[in-house]
């Protein structure tokens, strides 16, 4: 998605991301969706506010293991200046974006891209494991009582 150098574009990027997430099977009510939308909001805001250049937002799905997969977000702009992580203090109204990305993403970084750069982050999609199926033998195994005088757990059959 192309993003213009206007702060109003951040809202449009969030709407676009939500529609892409829904199309990939990630429900709007999943915590993963909220995390990704917040990360996109921060990265697009940084590109728009700190570079004054148009940017390109990309989302890549299904990277990594087929069961879990990883969602990668990239925001590329034409400004060659590297990102400058800052530390917000007290009531500062800016300076928390990359700190937030660092705390929410599983990985993040940046790279040179053409005459500019691309800032990226990845979030691993954890799929809840299925509970193990009981084996047929386990469901019919007899219960053997512990001999008298032994404490529970100290006896093995």
Q: Any residues with CB less than 8 A from the CB of 66 and at least 6 apart, and which? A: none
pLDDT beyond 80 at 132: no
Question: Can you point out the beta strands (E) in the chain?
Answer: 2-3, 55-63, 70-77, 107-113, 116-124
Where does the pLDDT of residue 68 fall: very low under 50, low under 70, confident under 90, or very high at 90 and above? low
Between these two residues, 133 and 125, which has the higher pLDDT value?
A: 125
Q: Any residues with CB less than 8 A from the CB of 22 and at least 6 apart, and which? A: 28
Q: Mean per-residue pLDDT for 104-110?
A: 96
Give residue limits of the domains in the chain.
2-128
Mean of pLDDT over the chain = 81
pLDDT at residue number 113:
94
The dihedral of CA 60, 66, 67, 68: what is its sign?
negative
| 107-113, strands of its sheet edge to edge | 2-3, 55-63, 70-77, 116-124, 107-113
Q: Among 3.40.50.970, 3.90.550.10, 3.30.70.360, 3.30.565.10, what is the CATH number of 2-128?
A: 3.30.565.10
Half-sphere exposure of 2 (CA within 13 A, CB side): 4
Q: Mean per-residue pLDDT for 9-13?
A: 95
Q: Any residues with CB less than 8 A from the CB of 111 and at least 6 apart, and which? A: 117, 118, 120
Q: Mean per-residue pLDDT for 128-144?
A: 50
pLDDT at residue number 41:
95
Q: Any residues with CB less than 8 A from the CB of 5 and at least 6 apart, and which? A: 48, 51, 52, 53, 54, 55
pLDDT at residue number 156:
42
Q: Mean per-residue pLDDT for 93-105?
A: 84
Say which range, 17-31, 114-128, 138-152, has the weakest mean pLDDT: 138-152
Q: Mean per-residue pLDDT for 111-136?
A: 77
pLDDT at residue number 66:
43
Please write the tens of the pLDDT for every residue from 81-91. Answer: 998 877 767 77
């Amino acid at each position: 998605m192309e993003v213009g150098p206007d702060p109003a574009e951040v809202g449009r990027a969030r709407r676009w991301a939500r529609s892409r997430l829904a199309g990939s099977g990630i429900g709007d009510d999943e915590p993963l969706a909220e995390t990704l939308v917040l990360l996109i909001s921060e990265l697009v805001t940084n590109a728009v506010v700190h570079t004054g250049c148009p940017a390109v937002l990309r989302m890549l799905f299904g990277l990594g293991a087929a069961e879990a997969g990883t969602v990668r977000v990239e925001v590329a702009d034409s400004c060659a200046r590297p990102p400058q992580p800052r530390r917000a203090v007290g009531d500062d109204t800016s300076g928390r974006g990359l700190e937030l990305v660092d705390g929410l993403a599983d990985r993040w970084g940046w790279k040179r891209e053409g005459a500019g750069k691309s800032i990226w982050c990845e979030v691993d999609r954890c799929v809840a494991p299925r509970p193990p199926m009981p084996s047929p033998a386990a469901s019919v195994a007899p219960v053997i009582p512990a001999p008298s005088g032994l404490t529970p757990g100290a006896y093995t059959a």
